[in-house]
Amino acid sequence: MTPETPALRPSRISLRDLWSEAVAACLARPARAALTVLGTVLGIAALVATLGVSKTASGQIVARFDALAATDVTVTPRTAAGPVVSRVIPWDAASRIRRLAGVVAAGTSADVDVKGALVRSVPLNDPSGQSTFQLPVKAASPELFAAIRARVASGRVFDEGHSVRGDRVAVIGPAAADRLNLTGVDQQPAIFIGERLYLVIGVLSDVARQADMLGAVIIPEGTARHEFGLVAPGSVQIDTEIGAARLIAQQAPIALNPDNPALFRVAQPPDAQGTKNAVKNDLNALFIILGLVSLLVGALGIANVTLVSVLERIGEIGLRRALGAGRRHIAAQFLTESALMGLFGGIIGASLGTSATVLVAIYRHWTPILDPKVPLLAPLVGTSIGLISGLYPAWRAARLQPVEALRSAI
């Protein structure tokens, strides 16, 4: 060995050099690099957007669900639906339920069998139009209006006094009011149910529950009992405090009939978490599969282009081998290049997916919700895809013999 030459040391490439070589190689063919990462971009964007939009959407569904459905409990007899034929729900059901902690309002209602009687308005408005209708007639306890969160457009709802006295008064839903040509109660309008005259004391504008009330004529329970022989309330509607619904659902049947609570069927809100997951699963399975397919296509794209790149750069590989690069250095370089493309794909995809989530949320007037892990993990996923895609091309590149490689021009 000549005295002035240093000892032979194994070749090495620093991480920084590896990085700059990979960046330089990608930037040397920017259009190709952009097209290569497109598949990964689309795949990651689809996944992030799917997860983001579904999380946002289920967030909205749950919010709506919390507001109304989570406080909604109804109790009906375990017998067939229809006109009430036997007395299962007691007349004082509403006040029994009202005593339970967590109940905001409770009221009973029933379909009234009017034996085919038609409802007609007193013909003072439009003599030529139809004035006789077959409208559903409902009996309700005064508290029902609170329990279904009814809003009054005009007049008032009836009270306990009307019911006890059996007064012939009625509250009508907005759809029924339309058909009967009633716009308000200023003129003290009256309607006929069959041959019996009822004073309309109130017109509803909206209800949050029991939408069939919108088209019905509603009379006090006491009146229905007296005039139409109503046997018993048909159902109990309970408005609970948020979070109390499941407890009330357990307690209500016992409060109504301690001897035999099994007589009742209770409809309670489904489990909130379960609903959320169900929504997510239904909406997302397809999009997640689509995203994964795009990712697979993206991975194949990177693998393909990296392989082509290896074949095109055989001369360069030969040069690097001549300059002291070992097989592992060549493999490391191509792996770094493919990982870099995957990383860029992941970053761009995560940005696009996040933007898509925000845009959808803005368009639907929703609050965008995105798990922060998703966009942060996306570049990692992209890098892994790049690395895996680069394995075979890198192996091919490393396997080349320097002499063969140098025969190719650069």
Partner 1 sequence: MTVALIELVDVCRRYDGDTPVEALRDVNLVIPAGDSVAIVGPSGSGKSTLLHIIGCLDRPTSGTYCLDGIDTGNIGDSLLASLRGQRIGFVFQSFHLLSFRTAIDNVMLAEVYLRRPRSGRRDRALAALDRVGLAARAEHLPSAMSGGERQRVAIARALVTEPPLLLCDEPTGNLDSANTAGVLALIDGLRADQLTVVMITHDPSVAAHANRIVGMVDGQLTEHVTDMGLIPAGEIRRHTT
Binding residues for partner 1, rule: CB under 8 A, are: 1-2, 5-6, 8-14, 16-17, 21, 24, 28-29, 315-316, 318-329, 401-403, 406, 409-410
Q: Closer to partner 1 at the Cβ: 6 or 82?
A: 6
Type of residue found at 394: A
Q: Closer to partner 1 at the Cβ: 138 or 321?
A: 321
Q: Closer to partner 1 at the Cβ: 63 or 322?
A: 322
Contacts made by residues 264-267, CB under 8 angstroms, sequence distance 24+: 264/75, 264/76, 264/77, 264/78, 264/88, 264/89, 265/75, 265/76, 265/77, 265/78, 266/73, 266/74, 266/75, 267/72, 267/73, 267/74, 267/75, 267/76
The least distance separating partner 1 from the CB of residue 36, rounded to whole angstroms, comes to: 17
In angstroms, what is the C-alpha Rg of the chain? Answer: 37
The least distance separating partner 1 from the CB of residue 385, rounded to whole angstroms, comes to: 26
**Do the strands 169-172 and 196-206 form a parallel or antiparallel pair, or are they unpaired?**
parallel
Q: Closer to partner 1 at the Cβ: 364 or 399?
A: 399
Q: Closer to partner 1 at the Cβ: 92 or 404?
A: 404
The least distance separating partner 1 from the CB of residue 6, rounded to whole angstroms, comes to: 8
- Extract the tokens encoding 285: 């399975």
* Nearest Cα residue to 158 out of 175, 139, 181, 177: 139
The least distance separating partner 1 from the CB of residue 46, rounded to whole angstroms, comes to: 33
The pair phi, psi for residue 105, each rounded to 5°, is -155, 150
Identify the three-state secondary structure at position 200: strand
Contact 219, 113 (CB under 8 A): no
Q: Closer to partner 1 at the Cβ: 24 or 285?
A: 24
Task: Identify the bridge partners of residue 74 per DSSP, sorted by sequence position.
Answer: 237, 267
Type of residue found at 195: E
The least distance separating partner 1 from the CB of residue 389, rounded to whole angstroms, comes to: 23
Q: Closer to partner 1 at the Cβ: 21 or 206?
A: 21
**Do the strands 169-172 and 132-133 form a parallel or antiparallel pair, or are they unpaired?**
unpaired
The least distance separating partner 1 from the CB of residue 14, rounded to whole angstroms, comes to: 7
The least distance separating partner 1 from the CB of residue 41, rounded to whole angstroms, comes to: 24
Per-residue CA distances from 159 to 83, 176, 320 (Å): 24, 21, 94
